[in-house]
Amino acid sequence: MNSVRTIIASVALLSSAAVLATDAARLPVDPTGIWRNPDGTLQVRIEANGPKLTGEIVWAAPEAIVDARESGVREPLIGTQLLQDYRRSGANSWHGKVYVPDMQGTFFSNIVAKADTKLDISGCILRGLICKHQTWQRV
C-alpha cells in the first residue's frame, strides 16, 4: 500500500512541476534592450514605440560595415532601423518586418522570446516558404 501512495505522490508532484514550468514559460518577456546577433558583429537596441517594437543598430563590427559596403549599402550602418513595426502576436512573440542591409530588402519577420536573454528572429521570403533564423543574445 505504501508503494502505491508513493507512486501517486510522485505522479502528483511531477504533474505540479510540469504545470508550474509551463506557466513560467508563458510569462511575458520584455524584449526591449540591446541584443547582439549570433556572430557578435551587430548590436541592436529594441524599443517600444507605442504598441509596436522597433530596433536600430547601435554598434557594428568593422567586418559588418565592410560587408554592408561591399553589398552596395551607402548609408551608415549604425542608426539603421532593422526591426520595423513589430506587433505582439502572443505572450512572447511579435511579427513585423526586418530590413537586411546586405540584401537591401525588407522581409516579413517573427520574433519569439525564448528566455529573458534569448530572442529567436526569423525573416521570410515567398510568403514564408523560405526563412532564415537567428538567435540573438541580450547584451
Give pLDDT, residue 25: 55
Q: What is the CATH number of domain 29-138?
A: 2.40.128.520
pLDDT, mean of residues 54-81? 95
Between 18 and 126, where is the model more confident?
126
CA angle 102, 70, 101 (to 5 degrees): 15
The three-state secondary structure class of 9 is helix
Q: Whole-angstrom Cα distance, residue 139 to residue 127?
A: 32
Domains of the chain, by residue range, sit at 29-138
Question: How do residues 2-57 score in pLDDT, each as one tens digit?
Answer: 554 444 444 443 444 444 344 445 689 999 999 999 999 999 999 999 999 999 99
